Structure 1
Amino acid sequence: MDSTTRFPDVMLLAAGLGTRLRPLTETVPKPLVPVGGIPLIERVMANARAEGAKRFVANAHYLPDQLLVHFAGGLKISREETLLGTGGGVKYALPMLHADPFFVMNTDAFWPAGSDAPLGRMIAKFDAEEDAEIVLLCVHPSRATGFSRSHDFCLDPFGRVTRDYGAPVIYGGVALVAKSVFADTPDGAFSFYPLIEAALERETLFGVALNAPWHHVGDAKGLADAEAALA
C-alpha cells in the first residue's frame, strides 16, 4: 500500500453477549470488558490505528448505546435488532463500508500493542495475488492463549491457506475481504466461516502469519490467561 492509498475500512464484530466471561458482562457489552485495564475493543482498534486505520464500523446488539457513549459518537454503529451472526452482521453493514477490500476484525482476540504490524502485510498479500478474495491473519498455535483446538488450517510456504499442507495455524480473527465475497449470500443471520471455506475451495484464500503472541478472550479462562500474560 503506497502513501496515496487510503487504508481499508475496518468492520468490528462487536455484537457478542460475552456471557461466558464474568458477571460484569451482564451490564457491559463484551467488547467493553477490560483486559489488563483496557477494553477489548480498544485493544483491537489501537492495533489497527497503529498501522493507519481511520474508519471503523461496529455491529452492536446488546447495550449498543454503551458503545456510542464510550466512543463519544466517534465509532459508527450498525445496530442489529436481532443477532445476524458474523456473516450476516457484516453484510448488513456493507452500505456503511466504503473500501473494497475491507478488514473484518473480531473484538475478542488481539496481539499486544506494538508487538507486530500484520495488517500491512495482509494488504500487500491481497494486492500481490491476482485471485485473492480473502486474506486471513494466521497464528501459530505455540503463540496462542485461549484456544483449545490444535489448529484451523495450514499455511503453505507461498501464503496460500490449505487444509493439510504447510504449517498448522489458527485463524486469528482478522480477515481482509473483497466485497464480492458477499454477492450471493442470503439476507438475515449467517456465519462468516462458510465464506472462508468457500474461498478455500476456490483456492482464493491466502494468509499472513502473526509474529507476536495472540490472545483469544472467549471465556473466563481465556480472560484470566490473557491478563496473566500481559501482567
Structure 2
Amino acid sequence: MEKPDRFPDVMLLAAGLGTRMRPLTETMPKPLVPVAGVPLIERVMANAQAEGAKRFAANAHYRADQVLAHFGGLLKVHREEVLLGTGGGVKAALPMLATDPFFVMNTDAFWPTGSDTPLARMRARHQGDEDIVLLCIQPSRATGFGRSHDFCLDPSGRVTRDYGAPVIYGGVALMGKALFRDAPDGAFSITDLFDAALERKTLYGVVLDAPWYHVGDPQALAATEALLTP
C-alpha cells in the first residue's frame, strides 16, 4: 500500500483508436484533440495535478509517436504494438507505476480544474487490496454522455447494480496491483475487474461535486466547448 503522504501514480488510458471522434482523429490521437484550446489529456492531467499528482504514465497505440513528441519525454509511455484493451493496457504498464494503489484515468472526460477534490475522497475511501473506488457522476451534471447511468450508489457508498442513486462512471478508478495478479495476459477490459469487485461487494464510489464533461464524439466536443467558452 502507498505511504499516506505520497500521492498515487496516475495511469492515463490513451491507446484507443478514437473512431467515434473522426474526422478529428484522422490526423491525431484522441487524447491530443483540443477542447477549447487545451488537449484532452492535459485537461485530465490538470484534474489530478490540482490535487497533488506528480507521476504519470500512459499507454499509447494509435499515433503513439505524437503522444511521445507532445510530452517530450516528460511522461512515461508504454507503447502497445497490439491493442490490449483498458485492462490489458494497465496490466502491461504496471512496472511503470511505483505506488500501490494507483489511479487509472480515462483521457476523454474531465471536470473544471479546481472545482472539486474528488481524488482525496477516493483515497480516503480505499481501505484494502480488494477495493476499487470509482468516481461517480450525477447524470444531471454530465455533458456528452448517452446512457441514463452505469451503476447505482447506495447510501453507504457501495456501488450496486440496482439499489441507490443512479450514477455514471466518471472515468477515474483507484485500485491496487493485486487485482491484476490473476487477470489474463493480453487484451481484456478493466470493467471485468469492476464487475468482480461488485460481486464481492468491494466496489465503492465517490460522487463528483462539479460539472463533468465526456468528450466522446464531435457533438460532445462542440457541446463542451460551448459551455467552457465565455
Give the TM-score normalised by structure 2.
Answer: 0.95
Match of 1:13 in 2: 13
Instruction: Pick from 132, 135, 154 the counterpart of residue 134 of structure 1.
Output: 132
SS of alignment partner, residue 42 of structure 1? helix
Measure the CA separation in 1 of the matches of 2:196 and 2:105. Answer: 19
* Cα distance, 1:23 vs structure 2: 2.2
* Cα distance, 1:131 vs structure 2: 6.9
Measure the CA separation in 2 of the matches of 1:20 and 1:174. Answer: 21
- Is the CA contact (8 Å cut-off) linking 1:154 and 1:167 kept in structure 2? yes
Which one is further off, 62-71 or 33-42? 62-71
Query: 4+ residue stretches of structure 1 with deviation over 3 A?
Result: none
- Is the CA contact (8 Å cut-off) linking 1:87 and 1:192 kept in structure 2? yes
* Cα distance, 1:163 vs structure 2: 1.1
Measure the CA separation in 2 of the matches of 1:33 and 1:145. Answer: 17
Is structure 2 residue 48 aligned with structure 1 residue 48?
yes
Aligned-pair Cα RMSD in Å: 1.5
Measure the CA separation in 2 of the matches of 1:48 and 1:25. Answer: 25
Match of 2:228 in 1: 230
The number of residues matched between the two structures is: 228
Measure the CA separation in 2 of the matches of 1:84 and 1:66. Answer: 19
Which one is further off, 167-176 or 148-157? 148-157
Measure the CA separation in 2 of the matches of 1:44 and 1:215. Answer: 11
Which one is further off, 84-93 or 110-119? 110-119
Matched ranges for 1:19-98 at <5 A: 19-98=19-98
Structure 1, residues 160-193: CA drift from partner, whole Å, max 9, x if none? 1111111100000000011111111110011011
SS of alignment partner, residue 20 of structure 1? helix
SS of alignment partner, residue 187 of structure 2? coil
Match of 1:103 in 2: 103
- Is the CA contact (8 Å cut-off) linking 2:56 and 2:76 kept in structure 1? yes
Match of 2:115 in 1: 115
Measure the CA separation in 1 of the matches of 2:181 and 2:4. Answer: 28
- Is the CA contact (8 Å cut-off) linking 2:64 and 2:79 kept in structure 1? yes
**Unpaired runs of at least 5, structure 2:** none
- Is the CA contact (8 Å cut-off) linking 1:57 and 1:96 kept in structure 2? yes
Measure the CA separation in 2 of the matches of 1:132 and 1:196. Answer: 11
SS of alignment partner, residue 67 of structure 1? helix
SS of alignment partner, residue 198 of structure 1? helix
* Cα distance, 1:217 vs structure 2: 0.9
- Is the CA contact (8 Å cut-off) linking 1:131 and 1:204 kept in structure 2? no
* Cα distance, 1:19 vs structure 2: 2.6
* Cα distance, 1:198 vs structure 2: 0.6
Is structure 2 residue 211 aligned with structure 1 residue 216?
no
Match of 1:178 in 2: 176
Match of 1:195 in 2: 193
**Unpaired runs of at least 5, structure 1:** none
